[in-house]
Structure 1
Amino acid sequence: MTTTSVLAAHGGTKALDIPRPHYQWPAVTAELEQAVRAQLHRSLSDRDASGVIGEFEAAFARFVGAPHAVSFASGTSAIHAMSRIAGLRPGDAVIAPAYTFFATATPFAHDGIEVRFADADRYGNVTAATLAEKLTPAVRAVILTHMWGNPCPMDEIVQFCGTHNLLLLEDCSHAHFASWRGRRVGTFGDMAVFSTNQKAITTGEGGVLVTADDRYRELALLFGHYNKRCQKEIHPGAEYYPYAFTGMGLKHRITTLGAAIGVHQLDHAPDIETRRRTILTRYASGLADNPVITPAIVPETDGQHGLYVLGLRFNPANASVSRDEFVALCQAEGATEVDAPGSTRDISTEPLFARRDPFAPWVPRTPPATELPGVAAFADTFIKIPLWGYAGDAPLVDGYLDVLTKVSTAVAR
């Protein structure tokens, strides 16, 4: 046995020896630097949509295929806006994924709205059946996340929400390039939010709310933009126009430099998608016969992956090590971005979700645990790696595939 086939953790040679960092996004090109530099001389603060913020929103609306896009300082603030402009208040409930990044649900809890947590399918997503298990008379809305870029089964979820007269809210933070049966995610719900924090389309920090509803768009402006923009863009005959000067009392505007990065990214969206989809296909092919790990990607007959990261399903019955041991062995081989995520997990027992009074003392209580077998099965076997998408990424793409193959071969039963 040669040292190249012996695992590095056992004294062998690393399969990948490329200095860190292995993944940075966006790719900082001379063209991107020029776009940011030009914006520095154009404006550092826009008070309305006449500059780069408006340009970014228009480009994002075209990208998604939605009539309206309103930018925010973060995806979290955009989800908070969704909650407020939907009219949810203490006493109401929303059904959310138990397996997600916490910001999908925390803005609702911040305002004292009950969050009821739904189980997951084999892709980490909610379904109509898991949502139905959490339905009560207090539920007024559903928020779902297209986890790790895999679109949720939207046909059945749209029908479920329509049958029960529920608002449908989409968290598309992982799914910028995703679609379900030919229709882009973000266009199924009453409103949708995309995070642009280090996602496939990024502004550095930021978020975007998209909707087809004129009223929701104007209320979104009131929530985060206020004053000059609201006075210019909200119809003077609207019942809420008297609030245009002050808005709802908060400002959550994206920065102009972030918007300039976003415009540049959207200009290159076809190239980003092509490169990332090529890499996704390479991994799907390269791992097709791997008994230890398989790509967790929805069938193409149902939907297109959103190209945030590549999710992998670890098959413990076929391995002599645990999922976490497998990750550690890959990292020892030099593939430091192989990861079992900790921030994205079952959030249903976090103390914040036991609060019903947003002004109560911050004394933690743990919500009652519920049975979530789908979440446990998914979270305990999930691994992720980056989906690169820029010139010169081939050594990393190939190197990570070599590491995954080497470690899988060594630990396969």
Structure 2
Amino acid sequence: MSPQHAHTLAFVESPVQLLNVLEWAHVQGLRPAEDRAMGSRPDPSPTAGTPETGRPPLPTPFQPSPAGRGRRSSGDGEHTEGATGLTLVVLAPTDPMTRGQLRRMADLARDEGYLVRWEEARGGASAPFQTVGALAGPLRRAERIVMGDPFSRYVQLLLTITRARDLVVVDDGTATMEFVAQLARGERLVRWHRKGGRPGPRELLFAPVSATARRRLLPVPGRRVEVFSAMPVAETPEGVTVTANDFAWTRARFGPPRITRGADLVGTSLVETGVVDVDRYVEAVHTLAKTHGATRYFAHRRESTAKLHRLAGETGLEIVRPDLPLELIARRGPIGRTILSFPSTVVHTLPLALKGTGVRVAVCDVDPAWLTENASPRAQGFLSGVTGTARDVHRLASVRTA
């Protein structure tokens, strides 16, 4: 079976990963999938809003694509016709905000007609064993595997089971840049913000699985590897195909947005990942907002409630908890004429999603003095690279903090 007609399983653990799977499927022209052998479990995602966000479903102007009409999955194992295409498997995290956004994205995928299988992959000590056991059969049958996070231990474990000869990695933000570089250099797969040094006991225990997964992600005769990315890819392993993600699906489905006169600020999880000092971060946000007249702060889904309360109190910004990835929020609008951000994925993706709207994206460098003592030695260089390689953005100097 050719890759274009292969049955495809996509594994996602975050809203952005699911969005980029939809973007990839749009470029591929994939049809929705029907696989009764999957034994699809009911998806707990509600259709009238989510407990995490308390928000209603998407407004009616959203229309499914022609290929998806009439193919919405009820989530109860009864699906319409069609033997090949894409099935999305959500390896659900425990974080409430991430779960809320994932449920909303799952609704979008169903509106496109795709089958979504929701796995409570972290719902207790026995959940990983149940999840892997339930997915073993579909994994062996799938001709193509799409994954959003090759650093994920879950995904790496699943890669040791699959026999698929067609592997696709879609964007999981800036981590994609580091993944491709590590693959090209033959290094073990380690997230860029992890502190350097000798691996811990858990890493050593999992090392054989990680090594097998890395070998599976290298192209060999009879196995195709593709990276679908909006990020700049400097080092590409020989034989790996790189396909550009220009957010064509997002632009076709949403907007153009209503643009306000003011500025909006995009938050990051650099504090939560231990890279940036919280006091310096709050000061920088306050200075940026005051300098550029920003009134709203779009929080990253991983930002802590305590930090956001502090930001609201000390900066006066309206804190917005998006219920969808920011690319969709911005495209739906309303959105500020200027969007301010620290080095992050959105400085690469928002110019693509907002192409032709006149919205300006500006990125502020992270001052080395903001880094914590626990930050990875690679952190400053990586963040500078994120900023320096961004296209169609206005670059701001780092702001001064006390």
Report the TM-score when normalising by structure 1: 0.28
More relative contact order in 1 or in 2 (CA 8 Å, sep 6+)?
Answer: 1
Report the TM-score when normalising by structure 2: 0.29
Say which one has the larger Rg.
1
